[in-house]
Amino acid sequence: MEVRVQNIRKEFGRFPALDDVSLDIRSGELIALLGPSGSGKTTLLRLIAGLESPTDGTIFFGAEDASKKTVQQRNIGFVFQHYALFRHMTVLDNVSFGLKVRPSSRRPPAADIRRRALDLLELVQLSGLEKRYPAQLSGGQRQRVALARAMAVEPNVLLLDEPFGALDAQVRKELRKWLREIHDRTGHTTVFVTHDQEEALELADRVVVMSKGAIEQVGTPDDIYDHPVSPFVYGFIGQSNCIDVTLSSGEIWFEDRPIGLRAASEPDGVATLYFRPHDIELIDGCGGCLAGLVTASRRVAGTRHLEIDLGKAHPPVEIELPPERASSTDHTRVAFRPTKWTLFRKEGDVAAVSRQAEAPVSELARTGT
């Protein structure tokens, strides 16, 4: 079922946790709410569930206004970060709870409830554990029980609050893949909250990046990573460097020299240049580049990270290189140039933001490498 959030505002006391947030969630979509803690992502999820009521605004489930409905009436599936399983009930009783508490007019016969619960346990790969109690399961297994329990009521929308937050890295990765499979098989509209960008980018059809009670950007993982619309998204998603630059007649200057990048349509003035550590190229002989001394060098998996000091007044930037290219540069001076970058104006207001994926100059240089 499609879910529309319209101009939602939520205040706790006088502190606005969400300020005028609107979001369309398409039917059957797997969507991630991503943001640092305090960004309002969990509040938004709980508002959709009906566990909180909005100060202002409306939430539609399909064409129906759900804002006035109670949690019980909304028929949603909610998976809590710490599972919130009923620990005095067996796994089977946990999963069938949602069906058993229905009024007798809507309650399926006991045999059907049992069959449905067993089917779901098979779906979440827990067949044979239906007689166990939650205390006898591992964290990953508990999370799967929680998911099966939420799906048992045929929810309009499945809401997951940091579903893998309490699990260790290995289990997390497995469950992530597995949740994607489950979603593709069952097709429930699913919203999940996470602060783990890797999780959001890997798992979701679309990612909603939130900060300070507002939505910064909504888009596919590719959009979000390749075309961040704000300094916040640039900084929050993936690694990035930012340096203060000056624009002068279409050239980008760093301190007292041009760095070989052009932003032709931009008016003169100061701006901030963002680029990712891996979107750079090394240059021999600097005729327009960023250059500095390598101050630290770390091997991280398949790449080498170099920290480069561009001058006292600037925080060091980090670049990533294939290890064989980086080994010769230890403690020497390197010259490089971003191949993909974005300029943001200080004012931060949307009109003043200039986005440039690739400048012609760097395009030429890139084909050379």
Partner 1 sequence: MAFRSSTRWRFRQPSVIPGFGLALGVTLAWLTLIVLIPLSGLIWRSTSLGWSSFMSLVLDERTVNALTISFGTAFIAAVVNLFFGVVLAWVLVRYRFPGKRVIDAMVDLPFALPTAVAGIALTALYAPNGWIGSLLEPLGIKIAFTPAGIVVALVFVGLPFVVRTVQPVMEEIDKEVEEAAATLGANRFQTISRVLLPGLLPAGLTGFALAFARGVGEYGSVIFIAGNLPYVSEIAPLLIIIRLEEFNYPAATAIATVMLFLSFIMLLVINSIQAWSRRRYSNGA
Closer residue to partner 1, CB minimum distance, 70 or 369: 70
Q: Where in 14-65 does DSSP place strands (E)?
A: 15-25, 30-34, 56-61, 64-65
Is residue 12 a contact residue for partner 1 (CB under 8 A)?
A: no
Q: How far apart (Å, rounded) are the C-alpha atoms in residues 309 and 269?
A: 24
Q: Considering the complex, what minimum distance in angstroms separates the CB of residue 224 from partner 1?
A: 29
Q: Is the dihedral of CA 69, 72, 74, 77 positive or negative?
A: positive
Is residue 166 a contact residue for partner 1 (CB under 8 A)?
A: no
Q: Which string of x and - marks every residue 198-217 that binds partner 1 (by CB under 8 A)?
A: --------------------
Q: Considering the complex, what minimum distance in angstroms separates the CB of residue 102 from partner 1?
A: 6
Is residue 68 a contact residue for partner 1 (CB under 8 A)?
A: no
Q: Which residues lie across from 190 on neighbouring strands?
A: 30, 158
Q: First CA to last CA across the chain, in angstroms?
A: 49
Closer residue to partner 1, CB minimum distance, 135 or 364: 135
* C-alpha closest to that of 354 among 281, 279, 262, 276: 262
Strand order of the β-sheet with 290-300 is 280-282, 333-338, 290-300, 303-309, 317-321
Q: Which of 24, 123, 133, 361 binds partner 1 (CB under 8 A)?
A: 133
Strand order of the β-sheet with 241-248 is 257-262, 251-254, 241-248, 269-275, 342-344
Q: Which string of x and - marks every residue 73-102 that binds partner 1 (by CB under 8 A)?
A: --xxxx-xxxxxxxxxx-------xx--xx
Q: Which of 111, 135, 301, 351 binds partner 1 (CB under 8 A)?
A: 135
Is residue 72 a contact residue for partner 1 (CB under 8 A)?
A: yes
Q: Considering the complex, what minimum distance in angstroms separates the CB of residue 73 from partner 1?
A: 8
Is residue 153 a contact residue for partner 1 (CB under 8 A)?
A: yes
CA 250 to chain centroid: 34
Q: Which string of x and - marks every residue 102-131 that binds partner 1 (by CB under 8 A)?
A: x-----------------------------
Q: How many residues bind partner 1 (CB under 8 A)?
A: 31
Binding segment (CB under 8 A) for partner 1, from list 150-158, 232-240, 256-264, 315-323: 150-158
CB atoms within 10 A of CB 311: 12
Q: Which of 10, 41, 149, 188 binds partner 1 (CB under 8 A)?
A: 149
Report helix angle 169-186 to 139-151, nearest 10.
Answer: 20
Q: Considering the complex, what minimum distance in angstroms separates the CB of residue 168 from partner 1?
A: 16
Q: Residue 229 has which token pair? A: 């619309």
Within 25-129, residue ranges assigned H as helices are 41-49, 71-74, 91-100, 110-123
Residues of this chain that bind partner 1 (CB under 8 A)? 49, 51, 71-72, 75-78, 80-89, 97-98, 101-102, 133-135, 137, 142, 149-150, 152-153
